[in-house]
């Protein structure tokens, strides 16, 4: 097809680079430099898709990120939904389809790379229009580090869309010179195609850079598709410009109703004539330039309608001089047309915005509307800066800054070019000065727009020709949400007064565009319907990031798949993989869960592993247990204060189980601590809690007891730990450590021995048991972990040594009633609740001790750890199941407690569970019930120690 | 994300730090001598001002030192940052025998 609406010359498009594309299955041609929207308009295509709820035809309404209508889905290896035709740069072969408000998520994995960069800068300038460029130039000349961010492919901002001049030459010549100068500054970085999406605390901004989207949908080798910049700036200059507001009148949603500034951009930047017989409707000076540019481009401007009774005479004269009929003190009160505007209805308004004269109908194919200018205060507001309503500008403008930031140019409500340049220069110099680079501002060159615009006359709600606001259901306030004046009126009649409530009731401002262009118009309508004097009395809704929608892929960056979270593996991990272990995640650790034989079920594997540990010998990789060196002359005193039991007098080469509590008396962690020397202990912690415990120790040492001479070092990775468990474990240790007397008398329970293994590796062997069986832990330097594990497997081979995982470890410990902190406890459990009065010293002070006398901590009906045996020994209680006293009780009823651990036990020949039950130790023998979706499970409360309660197996 | 000045390492992103709650809430010298109400006050009751707030931070992913910060709870402006450690305070370094 020919580009029927392409102007013969001009624009920022490359006529030597035609690009083929398809939209909704139809083939077209555009030019390099086009957006999808400008290429469609060049081909006379205005309509994009029907609206989401009312299925009304909707067309391209703007030329930028504020676009409410032109949502498309772009095809590719992984199709992208919810993109804007107005911000997609055209490329060869682009294929897209219009969306009625909802995209389709493509389930194909996206192969494109997204990444992140973190940088610091003295000055961050957001927006490369005249004000932003001036600020960046001035700051850069001072020697400050500058980052200049702009969402367009080329610098210039609003100057790209106009025909202004600076210093007697086309403004874009000045832009080109600025770009050359900035590029030559070594400490200035220019990020184009980059949108500042978030302004966070302490001048921390997120910027989304589109690096290859303009090249096509295929991933480009070696270049990330998009990059998320994390920028920390000493000073931020916001030159984010302003959005032109739509106006609210009957039929304002017809395709062909378009922002006047967008029409000007399509004319001058893209060399596209969106309509041949346009009408221009305005509340302010700005749209006169659009009308004159339309005439210059060959359009027949059918009328210029200005709401102001007396617009500036020179503007009116220049329009009339160009042959345009100007209607002052008037507005468009309705449109005609089916899928495109074919005529507008024009009427005079009196001072109260009431229709006061006859309605005239004027044929047209485009209505260019300027409802006024709203400074883009989104980032400013995200930075917690306040705004105020300016009656002269009829806009919300930045007021009080909350961070080290300043707004300039149109973002501040400055709408003349000279004011933008002057404000930009001053802000750039000031920013550099604050960053330690003092200088003076450059002088402002003369420009073609040196005069601020005359006062606008906003007409927030153009009345319908008939009826009242409750009937104005074709006066659209939010196009994407299909929300109208009638909807707002209904919200107000329902009692809403706050703009935040009305927003939620009507969904105004909640679509992809977040009401960028229409938000202040909506406030104006609300103010009008509430009878407020101005929108300032109503206020705006909260501006939240991101400023434009971004993909989750961008936010995730490289943190996907294997790089999502660091994976910790032990020195012995390769053996586990090679021998078919099934792994479970414990924090970031990969731990063998169990080692199934071919065809073996989980339950069968765990039963086999448990049997080996109880009847023969089994081996587990315990390297993930947290290990902390506690070193210094006051190490014993320190441990006495953090553990509930005493460690200061522990003999060298002896070990002791300890529990630590928070100050409120609740159990924080537990583990075995071994004394290696008078001033050296090694503490073990729960696998998932090692970092937290180290933080806890540091906190008390540094903030409460800095006089204690003790230091902590995490040595978890430095040691590999192999647990050899079972009645025949002593034989394995004897074979491995020929120099060691492994007899019970020479090497008793809870002691440690330093020895050299047969392999020559130095080892520390401890007699520690987490299963109730005779057991040894071999600790070697991490380097020797794998070789030592393999030597254990070899030495135990003749005895049928069996590797086991965390599931078996859990069953074995639960059979003995040993709790796991974090599974059987939840931060509300005391040592006494666990039945561990024996671990709580009565003779020394320690953290949490005072809390045991608090009434709540001392009461007898606290939830206590007990064993629970289902009446049917084959039934497994689900962990987390609530327990009640009465099987027939109607819900809701008060739970006695809940199941914390539940397993099948080979040793017991039945299922069993641990539970926290109110006053549990007084309920031994009682029946409780677990009401579950599939029925009620009855169970009996028992002592938690179900296996070998007398501890006869510990010494083999 | 806040930018927090560690007295030992300088300005770092908030994600390197752990928050430690209100500063200057000392562990009572004699917990056993306190009434339940007094002990409960120590355990559970903290200030929650709108304005400057002295609080503790730990440079957990850095030097591991605890220090105090005065932060404005509305603007998040950090008004002061100081170590309570004797070395940072110019006192002699503790000796480890
Ligand atoms: Zn630090």
Structure tokens of A851? 């809390």
Task: Answer yes or no: are the C-beta atoms of A380 and A412 closer than 8 Å.
Answer: no
Residue A167 CA, chain-centre distance (Å), reads 46
How many whole angstroms from A807 Cα to the centroid of ligand 1? 40
State the smallest CA–CA distance between residue A701 and chain B in angstroms. Answer: 10
Query: What are the φ and ψ backbone dihedral angles of A528, each rounded to 5 degrees?
Result: -65, -45
Task: Answer yes or no: are the C-beta atoms of A334 and A476 closer than 8 Å.
Answer: no
Decide if B1 and A200 are in contact by the 8 Å CB cutoff: yes
How many whole angstroms from B14 Cα to the centroid of ligand 1? 11
When the pLDDT of each residue in chain A is averaged and rounded to a whole number, the result is 96
Q: Using CA coordinates, name the residue in chain B closest to A631.
A: B96
Q: Name the pLDDT band for A890 (thresholds 50, 70, 90).
A: confident
Decide if B96 and A402 are in contact by the 8 Å CB cutoff: no
Structure tokens of A160? 């790209």
Q: DSSP states of A240-266 as a string?
A: --EEEPP---BTTTSTTEEEHHHHHHH
Inside any domain, residue B97: yes
Angle ∠(A551,A553,A557) on CA atoms, nearest 5: 130
> Mean of the pLDDT values across residues A780-795?
98
Residue A232 CA, chain-centre distance (Å), reads 18
State the smallest CA–CA distance between residue B72 and chain A in angstroms. Answer: 12
Inside any domain, residue B84: yes
Task: Answer yes or no: are the C-beta atoms of A763 and A740 closer than 8 Å.
Answer: no
Decide if B20 and A699 are in contact by the 8 Å CB cutoff: yes
Q: For residues A865-896, b (16+ Cβ closer than 10 Å) or e, as one string?
A: bbbbbbeeeeebbebebbbbbeeeeeeeeebb
Structure tokens of A166? 């600076």
Q: What per-residue confidence (pLDDT) applies to B94?
A: 42
Which of these ranges, A241-255, A498-512, A716-730, has the smallest mean pLDDT?
A498-512
Decide if B43 and A851 are in contact by the 8 Å CB cutoff: yes
Inside any domain, residue B85: yes
> Mean of the pLDDT values across residues A777-785?
98
Measured between beta carbons, the chain B residues lying within 8 angstroms of A385 are none
> Mean of the pLDDT values across residues A368-377?
97
Q: Using CA coordinates, name the residue in chain A closest to B32.
A: A850
State the smallest CA–CA distance between residue B43 and chain A in angstroms. Answer: 6
Decide if B31 and A845 are in contact by the 8 Å CB cutoff: yes
Task: Answer yes or no: are the C-beta atoms of A365 and A344 closer than 8 Å.
Answer: no
State the smallest CA–CA distance between residue B84 and chain A in angstroms. Answer: 7
Inside any domain, residue B17: no
Q: What are the tens digits of pLDDT across the range A539-593?
A: 988 899 999 999 999 999 999 988 999 999 999 999 999 999 999 999 999 999 9
Interface A-B, measured as beta-carbon pairs within 8 A, has a size of 71
Name which of A403, A703, A849 is nearest B31 (Cβ-Cβ): A849
Inside any domain, residue B94: yes
Decide if B65 and A201 are in contact by the 8 Å CB cutoff: no
Inside any domain, residue B75: yes
Q: Does B26 touch chain A (CB under 8 A)?
A: yes
Percentages helix, strand, coil for chain B, rounded to the nearest 5? Answer: 15, 35, 50
Tokens 């990969």 belong to A590
Decide if A201 and B1 are in contact by the 8 Å CB cutoff: yes
List of E strands, B1-97 = 3-6, 10-13, 18-22, 52-58, 66-72, 78-83
Cis omega before residue A177 (within 30°)? no
Measured between beta carbons, the chain A residues lying within 8 angstroms of B42 are 663
Residues 6+ apart with CB under 8 A from A285: A311, A312, A315, A453, A454, A456
Measured between beta carbons, the chain A residues lying within 8 angstroms of B27 are 663, 704
- The pLDDT of residue A891 is above 80: no
How many whole angstroms from B59 Cα to the centroid of ligand 1? 5
Q: What per-residue confidence (pLDDT) applies to A441?
A: 87
State the smallest CA–CA distance between residue A287 and chain B in angstroms. Answer: 40
d(CA B97, CA B95): 6
**Per-block average pLDDT, block size 10, for chain B (97 residues)?**
92 95 94 96 96 94 92 91 61 46
Q: What per-residue confidence (pLDDT) applies to A14?
A: 97
State the smallest CA–CA distance between residue A850 and chain B in angstroms. Answer: 6
3-state secondary structure labels for all residues of A423-476: HHHHHHHHHHHHCCCCCCCCCCCCECCCCCCCCCCCCCCCCCCCCCHHHCCCEE
Cβ neighbour number for residue A935 with a 10 Å cutoff? 8
Residues 6+ apart with CB under 8 A from A746: none
d(CA A524, CA A826): 53
Measured between beta carbons, the chain B residues lying within 8 angstroms of A637 are none
Q: What per-residue confidence (pLDDT) applies to B66?
A: 92
Inside any domain, residue B80: yes
Q: Does A559 touch chain B (CB under 8 A)?
A: no
Measured between beta carbons, the chain A residues lying within 8 angstroms of B20 are 699, 703
Which domain covers residue B58, as residue numbers?
49-97
Measured between beta carbons, the chain A residues lying within 8 angstroms of B13 are 232
Decide if A204 and B32 are in contact by the 8 Å CB cutoff: no
Measured between beta carbons, the chain B residues lying within 8 angstroms of A690 are none
> Mean of the pLDDT values across residues A129-153?
97
Name which of B39, B66, B97 is nearest A699 (Cβ-Cβ): B66
Measured between beta carbons, the chain A residues lying within 8 angstroms of B65 are 702
Mutate to test the interface with B, among A119, A202, A830, A858 (most CBs of B within 10 A): A202
Q: Name the pLDDT band for A114 (thresholds 50, 70, 90).
A: very high
Q: What is the CATH number of the domain that holds B89?
A: 3.30.2270.10
d(CA B16, CA B63): 10
Q: For residues A252-269, b (16+ Cβ closer than 10 Å) or e, as one string?
A: bbbbbbbbbbbbbbbbbb
Name which of A232, A704, A711 is nearest B96 (Cβ-Cβ): A711
Question: Hey, which residues 45-84 in chain B have their CB within 8 Å of chain A?
Answer: 56, 58, 60, 64-66, 75-76, 84
Measured between beta carbons, the chain B residues lying within 8 angstroms of A664 are 43-44
Measured between beta carbons, the chain B residues lying within 8 angstroms of A852 are none
> Mean of the pLDDT values across residues A393-421?
97
Q: Does A698 touch chain B (CB under 8 A)?
A: yes
How many whole angstroms from B6 Cα to the centroid of ligand 1? 5
State the smallest CA–CA distance between residue B48 and chain A in angstroms. Answer: 20
Which of these ranges, A404-408, A484-488, A516-520, has the smallest mean pLDDT?
A516-520
Task: Answer yes or no: are the C-beta atoms of A237 and A150 closer than 8 Å.
Answer: no
Decide if A706 and B85 are in contact by the 8 Å CB cutoff: yes
**Region of residue A404 (phi > 0: left; psi between -120 and 50: alpha; otherwise: beta):** beta
**Region of residue A315 (phi > 0: left; psi between -120 and 50: alpha; otherwise: beta):** alpha
How many whole angstroms from A202 Cα to the centroid of ligand 1? 19
Cis omega before residue B28 (within 30°)? no
Q: What per-residue confidence (pLDDT) applies to A956?
A: 87
d(CA B64, CA B59): 5
> Mean of the pLDDT values across residues A449-467?
94
Tokens 């939830």 belong to A863
Decide if A706 and B94 are in contact by the 8 Å CB cutoff: yes
Decide if A202 and B36 are in contact by the 8 Å CB cutoff: no
Mutate to test the interface with B, among A385, A696, A703 (most CBs of B within 10 A): A703
Measured between beta carbons, the chain A residues lying within 8 angstroms of B66 are 698-699, 702-703
- The pLDDT of residue A1 is above 50: no
> Mean of the pLDDT values across residues A389-404?
96
Element (H, E) at A524: helix A519-530
Q: Which of A247, A210, A215 lies closest to A225 in space, CA to CA? A: A210
Decide if B60 and A699 are in contact by the 8 Å CB cutoff: no
Percent of chain A clearing pLDDT 70 (strictly above): 100
Inside any domain, residue B11: no
* Number of domains composing chain B: 1
> Mean of the pLDDT values across residues A326-339?
97
d(CA A395, CA A377): 11
Measured between beta carbons, the chain A residues lying within 8 angstroms of B3 are 202-204, 232
- The pLDDT of residue A916 is above 80: yes
């Amino acid at each position: 097809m020919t580009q029927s609406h392409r102007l013969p010359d001009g624009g920022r498009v490359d006529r030597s680079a035609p690009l083929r594309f398809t939209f909704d299955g139809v083939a077209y041609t555009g030019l390099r430099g086009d957006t999808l929207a400008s290429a469609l308009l060049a081909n006379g295509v205005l309509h994009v898709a029907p609206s989401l709820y009312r299925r009304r035809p909707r067309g391209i309404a703007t030329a930028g990120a504020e676009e409410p209508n032109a949502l498309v889905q772009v095809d590719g290896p992984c199709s992208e939904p919810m993109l804007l035709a107005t911000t997609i740069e055209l490329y060869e072969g682009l294929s897209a389809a219009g969306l009625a408000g909802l995209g389709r998520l493509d389930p194909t994995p996206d192969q494109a790379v997204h990444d992140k960069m973190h940088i610091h800068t003295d000055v961050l300038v957001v927006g490369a229009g005249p004000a932003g460029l001036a600020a960046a130039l001035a700051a850069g000349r001072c020697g400050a580090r500058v980052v200049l961010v702009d969402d367009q492919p080329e610098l210039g901002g609003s100057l790209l869309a106009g025909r202004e001049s600076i210093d007697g030459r086309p403004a874009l010549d000045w832009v080109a010179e600025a770009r050359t100068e900035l590029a030559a500054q070594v400490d200035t970085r220019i990020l184009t195609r980059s949108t500042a999406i978030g302004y966070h605390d302490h001048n921390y901004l997120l910027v989304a850079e589109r690096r290859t989207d303009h090249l096509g949908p295929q991933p480009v080798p070696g270049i990330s598709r998009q990059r998320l910049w994390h920028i920390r700036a000493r000073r931020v200059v916001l030159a984010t410009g302003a959005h032109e507001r739509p106006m609210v009148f009957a039929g304002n949603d017809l395709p062909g109703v378009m922002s006047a500034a967008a029409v000007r951009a399509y004319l001058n930047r893209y060399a596209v004539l969106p309509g041949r017989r346009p009408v221009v409707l305005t509340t302010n000076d700005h749209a006169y330039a659009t009308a004159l540019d339309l005439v210059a481009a060959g359009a027949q401007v059918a009328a210029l309608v200005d709401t102001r009774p007396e617009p500036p005479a020179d503007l009116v004269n220049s329009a009339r001089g160009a042959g345009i009929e100007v209607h002052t003190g008037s507005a468009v009160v309705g449109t005609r047309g089916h899928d495109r505007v074919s005529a507008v209805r024009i009427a005079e308004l009196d001072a109260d915005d009431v229709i006061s004269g006859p309605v005239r109908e004027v044929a047209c194919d485009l209505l260019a509307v300027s409802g006024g200018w709203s400074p883009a205060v989104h980032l400013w507001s995200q930075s917690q800066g306040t705004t105020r309503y300016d009656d002269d500008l009829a806009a919300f403008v930045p007021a009080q800054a909350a961070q080290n930031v300043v707004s300039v140019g149109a973002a501040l409500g400055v709408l003349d070019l000279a004011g933008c340049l002057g404000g930009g220069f001053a802000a750039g110099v000031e920013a550099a000065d604050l960053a330690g680079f003092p200088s003076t501002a450059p002088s402002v060159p003369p420009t073609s727009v040196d005069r601020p615009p005359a006062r606008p006359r906003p007409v927030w709600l153009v009345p319908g020709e008939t009826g009242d606001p409750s009937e104005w259901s074709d006066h659209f306030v939010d196009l994407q949400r299909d929300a109208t004046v009638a909807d707002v009126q209904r919200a107000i009649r329902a009692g809403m007064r706050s703009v935040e409530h009305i927003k939620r009731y009507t969904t105004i401002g909640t679509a992809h565009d977040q009401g960028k262009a229409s938000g202040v118009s909506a406030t104006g309508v609300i103010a009008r319907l509430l009878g407020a004097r101005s929108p300032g009395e109503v206020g705006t809704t909260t501006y939240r990031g991101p400023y434009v929608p971004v993909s989750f892929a961008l936010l995730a960056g490289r943190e996907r798949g294997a790089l999502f979270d660091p994976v910790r593996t032990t020195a012995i991990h390769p053996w586990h993989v090679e021998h078919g272990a099934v792994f479970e995640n414990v924090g970031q650790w990969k731990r063998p869960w169990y080692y199934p034989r071919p065809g073996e079920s989980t339950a069968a594997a765990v039963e086999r592993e448990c049997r080996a540990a109880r009847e023969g010998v089994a081996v587990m990789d315990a390297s993930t247990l947290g290990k902390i060196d506690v070193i210094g002359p006051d190490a014993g005193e320190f441990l006495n204060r953090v553990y509930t039991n005493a460690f200061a007098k522990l003999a060298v080469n002896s070990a002791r189980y300890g529990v630590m509590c928070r100050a409120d008396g609740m159990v924080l962690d537990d583990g075995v601590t071994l004394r290696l020397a008078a001033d050296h202990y090694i503490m073990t912690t729960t696998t998932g809690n090692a970092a937290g415990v180290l933080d806890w120790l540091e906190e008390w040492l540094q903030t409460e007891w800095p006089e204690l001479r003790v230091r902590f070092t995490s040595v978890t990775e430095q040691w590999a730990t192999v647990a050899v468990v079972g009645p025949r474990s002593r034989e394995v240790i004897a074979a491995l450590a020929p120099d060691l007397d492994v007899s019970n008398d020479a090497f008793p329970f809870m002691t440690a021995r330093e020895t050299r293994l047969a392999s020559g590796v130095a080892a520390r062997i401890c007699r520690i048991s987490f299963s109730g069986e005779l057991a040894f832990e071999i600790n070697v330097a991490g380097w020797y972990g794998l070789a030592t594990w393999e030597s254990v497997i070899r030495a135990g081979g003749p005895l049928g040594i069996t590797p086991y995982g965390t599931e078996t470890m859990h069953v074995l410990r639960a059979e003995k009633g040993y709790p796991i902190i974090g599974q059987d406890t939840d931060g509300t459990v005391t040592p006494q609740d666990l039945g561990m009065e024996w671990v709580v010293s009565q003779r020394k002070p320690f953290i949490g001790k005072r809390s045991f006398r608090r009434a709540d901590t001392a009461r007898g009906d606290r939830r206590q750890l007990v064993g629970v045996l289902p009446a049917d020994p084959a039934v497994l209680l689900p962990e987390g199941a609530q327990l009640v006293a009465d099987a027939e009780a109607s819900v809701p009823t008060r739970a006695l407690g809940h199941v914390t651990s539940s397993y099948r036990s080979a040793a017991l020949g039945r299922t069993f569970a641990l539970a926290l039950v109110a006053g549990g130790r007084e309920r031994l023998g009682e029946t409780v019930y677990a009401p579950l979706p599939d029925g009620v499970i009855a169970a009996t409360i028992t002592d938690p120690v179900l296996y070998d309660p007398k501890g006869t197996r510990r010494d083999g | 994300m806040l930018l927090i000045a560690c007295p030992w390492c300088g300005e770092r992103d908030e994600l390197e730090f752990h928050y430690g709650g209100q500063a200057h809430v000392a562990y009572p010298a004699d917990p056993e001598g306190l009434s339940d109400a007094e002990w409960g006050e120590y355990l559970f009751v903290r200030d929650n001002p709108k304005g400057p707030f002295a609080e503790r931070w730990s440079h957990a992913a850095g030097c591991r030192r605890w220090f105090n910060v005065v932060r404005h709870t509305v603007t998040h402006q950090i008004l002061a940052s100081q170590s309570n450690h004797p070395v940072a305070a110019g006192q002699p370094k503790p000796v480890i025998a």
